[in-house]
Amino acid sequence: MNSLGLLVQEAFKRDPHGGDLYVVRGRIGKLIKILWHDWLGMSLYAKRLERGRFLWPSRLMAW
């Protein structure tokens, strides 16, 4: 959790305590992690697939 927060700060130049969701996919595509701060504490959600992979867009999109 701390290393993902540091990644958000250094790579994205964002505050991980700002309330945004940050989604990171594992290299192989079977794991995603979601980092979120809800003003009470940091939460880390993880999902690992037994079969298949998470599809990831080839380009980043700003919504």
Domain contains 6? yes
- pLDDT tens across 6-19, in order? 888 888 888 888 88
Radius of gyration over alpha carbons of the chain, in Å? 12
Q: How far apart are CA 43 and CA 13, in angstroms?
A: 19
Domain contains 44? yes
Model's pTM, two decimal places?
0.74
What is the number of structural domains in the chain?
Answer: 1
Residue span of the structural domain in which 17 resides? 2-48
CA distances from residue 52 to 6, 29, 58 in whole angstroms, order as listed: 29, 8, 18
- pLDDT value at 20 more than 80: yes
Start-to-end CA span in the chain (Å): 25
Domain contains 55? no
Domain contains 33? yes
CA distances from residue 53 to 9, 20, 30, 33, 42 in whole angstroms, order as listed: 27, 24, 5, 14, 26
